[in-house]
Amino acid sequence: MKHTILLAVTGVIMGSVSVFMGIPGQVEPLFWLIFYVLWVVYGVRVRLELPVRRMIAASTLAGLLCGSIQVVFMEQYKAHNPWYAEHFDSPAQQLATQFLGQGIMLGFACGMVVGLVVRWRLKALGTPAGE
């Protein structure tokens, strides 16, 4: 459980940075990619048991946390991310659903990929991954 919570803090970091500083659309995926590469290194280094399940859970939680922070601080998000202005014409409820849905779905998908990579690396190193 501690690994899941530790990794999910990524969502709090990304949500806070996007809300209070702003992250251009072209740069945000790069930040997430860097975090996920670090997740792979962490997962292999600590020899995570059940890496696919843990990474899916952690990444989905990170996406949910990121989206939640963006929803709670919607006005600050709008002020610091003017490049997303075309999306802000939608009602607040629709924007909230989009932020949360996108965070959860992308978190799940990225967590699966990262978990599979960690499992593959652990197998290549001869460490049982538990799955």
Cβ 70 vs Cβ 77: under 8 Å: yes
**Which of the four pLDDT bands, split at 50, 70 and 90, describes residue 4?**
confident
Structure tokens at 100: 């949360």
> What 8-state DSSP symbol labels residue 50?
S
Q: Is 48 helix (H, G, I), strand (E, B) or coil?
A: coil
First to last CA, the chain: 17
Check pLDDT > 70 for residue 128: no
CA distance 18 to 37: 20
pLDDT at 5 over 80: yes
For 83-121, what is each residue's pLDDT tens digit? 777 777 778 888 889 889 999 999 999 999 999 999 999
Percent of the chain with pLDDT over 90: 64
Q: Which residues contact 127 (CB under 8 A, 6 or more apart)?
A: 47
Mapped onto helix, strand or coil, the DSSP state of residue 63 is helix
pTM for the model? 0.88
Report the length, in residues, of the chain: 131
